[in-house]
Amino acid sequence: MSYPADHSEFESAMDAWHSRVDSNSKINLFLFDPNTISAGQLDSLFLPFSIKRNLIKYRKSGGRFYKAADLRKIFGMNDSIYEAVKEYIVIEKVSDSLAGMKHLAVVEEVASYSHSRKRKDNIFITELNSADSAQLVRLKGIGPVFASRIIKYRNLLGGFYSDCQLLEIYNFPEETFIEIRRYINVDTTVIKKIRINYADFSDLLRHPYLEKADVEKIVRHREKFGPFDSVEQVLGLCPADSVKKNGLRHYLTCR
């Protein structure tokens, strides 16, 4: 990925972004917390590269966002871009008190574990890739039906790489996601990857991010040219959907 090096390149990048917005009715935006969004997730977010870079720099320097409007602090975040993304900004409320700071420290510590751990204040942090139905229904707004859907979708995917994937589940309410997001995390090390050079047609077709047309292209290419050398080769055969491609990266391997 390359970023604009000077102001003229920056202006050109911004013009290109606005042109894409004007010419496309569908742009890739999803709910995100600017304080916690990963580099991979940020890469798939429909924003100019320079703004993504400046956001990361701001966080590394110790900056934090307390409300959606704070995103205006980022250099390059003009009114039109802010208006396009503000509805997708979800920021966890954090107290300025010492108690609030301790709360954050605890959440960050629990995030490194691969299962639910009970905190001192009796709040559970649920790891989505290992949680069973009993753990999921502890989350506010998650009953037996959604717990079952979460597990079924997780099994189809091979595991979640982002908590935002909950919103891909049929009828999963955004308000529920916003409510529970502070209490969930994802261990990406347990994702089950597809061995793209060995998987058969039915195995590939089973994955939610692959359509039948994609699988046919992959199998034909493999039969004609032999094994894939990289995941990028595979992604090049799939539709130009940056969100889908970013997702697929987490589930494919050429090993």
Q: Distance between CA 245 and CA 83 in Å, rounded?
A: 26
pLDDT score of 240 more than 60: no
- Give the closest residue to 138 by CA, choosing from 162, 156, 159, 117: 117
- Give the closest residue to 128 by CA, choosing from 170, 92, 167, 173: 167
Which residue bears the tokens 């995030």? 111
Residue type, 53: R
- Give the closest residue to 214 by CA, choosing from 226, 229, 224, 201: 201
Which CATH fold would you assign to the domain 98-190? DNA polymerase; domain 1 (1.10.150)
Locate 88 and state its tokens: 């997708």
pLDDT score of 69 more than 50: yes
pLDDT (tens digit per residue) in 100-121: 443 444 344 434 443 444 443 4
pLDDT (tens digit per residue) in 5-64: 444 554 555 455 445 444 444 445 677 888 888 877 777 777 788 888 888 888 887 888
Do β-strands 117-118 and 124-127 pair in parallel, antiparallel, or remain unpaired? antiparallel
Exposed e or buried b per residue across 134-148, where buried means at least 16 C-beta atoms within 10 angstroms of its C-beta? ebbbebeebeeebbe
pLDDT (tens digit per residue) in 152-189: 999 999 999 999 899 999 889 989 999 999 899 999 99
Strand partners, 184: 126
Contacts of 136 (CB under 8 A, 6+ apart): 126, 142, 146, 147, 150, 151
